[in-house]
Amino acid sequence: MSQRGPRAVVVVLSDDECAELSRWAGGVASPRLAERARIVLACAGGASNAWVAAECGVSSATVGKWRSRFAVRGLAGLKDEPRPGRRKSELVL
């Protein structure tokens, strides 16, 4: 039987990456970063996007996004990027 949809990016972790992600997932990092770490750890275990999404309470698209970003950029890909526009401090008078 053929697989439905595109094949998920395979996530392979080094020992150092696994240790750092586990630390982040344990609550050392911000809640957003901890969630992303849990997603990547589950993906590295070979789980499907749908299964990880159900376990983490996010959408399959969210899992795919963080799986792909980690595969391309590593740990740095999980951190927030600067958002466009002015910062909130610039908006307050």
Question: Can you spell out the DSSP letters for 27-57?
Answer: IIS-HHHHHHHHHHHHHHTT--HHHHHHHHT
Task: Please check whether residue 4 is in contact with residue 48, taking contact to mean a CB–CB distance below 8 angstroms.
Answer: no
Specify the pLDDT at position 85: 78
Give long-range contacts, CB 8 A cutoff, 24+ apart: 46-50.
Answer: 48/8, 49/8
Q: Where are the domains of the chain?
A: 15-78
Is the predicted pLDDT of residue 66 greater than 60, yes or no?
yes
Share of the chain above pLDDT 70, in %: 89
Q: Is the dihedral of CA 30, 33, 39, 45 positive or negative?
A: negative
